Amino acid sequence: MRTIFFSSILAMLLFSCAGKTVPSTINPQAFNKLIDGKKVMIYTLKNQKGMEITVTNWGGRIVSWLVPDKRGIMEDVVLGYDSINGYLNAKENYFGAAIGRYGNRIANGEFSIGDIKYKLAQNNGINSLHGGINGFSGKMWEVVQNDIGELSLKLVSPDMDEGYPGELSVSMIYRLTNDNELVIQYEAKCDKPTIINLTNHSYFNLHGAGNGSVLDHLLTLNANFITPTDSTLVPTGEIRAVDNSPFDFRKPTIIGSRINSEDQQIRFGRGYDINYVLNKNPDQNVSLAASVFEPESGRLLEVFTDQPGIQFYTGNFLDGKYPGKKGKTYGYRTGFCLETQHYPNSPNQPKFPSVQLDPDQVYSHTCIYKFSVKS
Ligand code: GLA
């Protein structure tokens, strides 16, 4: 009798893991808080394949993302916290966040439009990073759940918000398809000439968040050039070929295989923290930028975008100081980011593709994170 009892428990446990969605570990009650007078909420996206993504309106952040492995076992593959206080207490880490008004760095926190000079908060050494002290990652977005697979998120950034000119109206669509793709569609308009560079800052670990390093993942990155930086991680304006360097990921390459090389750009970033100039097909608007494969789980992440650049970052500032979901810690290089973007510091580099948005233009940016499994 006892054997039958235990074998049925085991069967239920196995069934609950393989293929069927393991209920997300995110408890909406743990996000019960008012920020800027608005209630922090958790929203859940689901599809017919059992994939599940939870999102909070604070910073438009992706909080959890359940993805099957080759055995159908679901794991949460994005770093984050299982309470709003976890996010608020941690040193800023942008986990899962919508980033703006300008993602990545602007040298010395200053730029000009025409002959008007603007001054931003220098919140990352001498530079401005990720939209300033209270960038879009810390704002309360207006969220509408359109259906079980789609959210609309809106934000109005007032004139001179964090030093940026013009009232900017931003809308994002997070759409989870039945092909296990999260399609992020950004649009924005402004009533004055401004600059803009939005992105998403999810940190991925295809073993599962908190399950060790990402250095054993295989990366393929569709780019022949990088924009090398100075020691403060601001691009110098040079466009440098990746040939014969630790930055060449045109063929599938283990992320950790050259990460401790003496290369100056590796040393500046304490690993990979660099913008790539993506190879583009003239007839393709949205094209494959990068793919990451983790052999043990068989999980494959592909990233598609219409943007000219992508920041590849290997979590070199993570220090495991703040326990994440399920009490797991996120130490050095335990998450990687692939942030589709314009190049950092573009407002100060006239040779880089322009990031200026004029009142008669619409900013548009598509990023697709697509998961599948490969044996
Ligand atoms: C981006 C930058 C990194 C780091 C992270 C956030 O990925 O490129 O240098 O600032 O954001 O910590």
Question: In sequence order, what DSSP letters do the residues of 294-314 get, joined into one string?
Answer: ETTTTEEEEEEESSSEEEEE-
Ligand 1 atom 6: residue of nearest CA: 93
Q: Are 210 and 329 in contact (CB under 8 A)?
A: yes
Q: Which three-class secondary structure state does DSSP give residue 86?
A: helix
Question: Which residue among 200, 228, 243 closes a domain?
Answer: 200
Asked if the structure places residue 229 within a domain, the reply is yes
**What are the average pLDDT values for consecutive 10-residue runs of the chain, which has 375 residues?**
53 44 76 97 97 98 98 97 96 91 98 98 97 98 98 98 98 98 98 98 98 98 98 98 98 98 97 98 92 98 98 96 95 98 98 98 98 94
Contact partners, residue 264, CB within 8 Å, separation at least 6 = none
Return d(Cα 203, Cα 225) in angstroms, integer. Answer: 23
Asked if the structure places residue 375 within a domain, the reply is no
* Ligand 1 pocket residues where CB is under 6 Å: 93-94, 104, 129, 233, 273, 311, 313, 317, 337, 339
Q: Are residues 342 and 274 in the same domain?
A: yes
Q: Which three-class secondary structure state does DSSP give residue 368?
A: strand
pTM for this predicted structure = 0.94
Q: Which of 108, 105, 103, 339 is nearest to 233 (CA)?
A: 105
Return d(Cα 225, Cα 247) in angstroms, integer. Answer: 9
Which pLDDT value is given to residue 13?
A: 47
Relative to the CA of 269, which ligand 1 atom is closest?
9
Relative to the CA of 274, which ligand 1 atom is closest?
8
* Active-site annotation holds for 110: no
Number of domains in the chain: 2
* Active-site annotation holds for 339: yes
Asked if the structure places residue 362 within a domain, the reply is no
Asked if the structure places residue 210 within a domain, the reply is no
Q: Are residues 185 and 221 in the same domain?
A: no
Q: Are residues 134 and 272 in the same domain?
A: no
Q: Are residues 266 and 161 in the same domain?
A: no
- The CATH number of whichever domain residue 184 belongs to comes to 2.70.98.10
Q: How far is the CA of 105 from the centre of ligand 1 (A)?
A: 9
Asked if the structure places residue 372 within a domain, the reply is no
Q: Which three-class secondary structure state does DSSP give residue 78?
A: strand
Q: Are residues 61 and 108 in the same domain?
A: yes
Show the domain range for 259. Answer: 216-357
CA dihedral for 48, 53, 57, 62, sign (positive or negative): negative
What's the token pair of residue 259? 């990460």
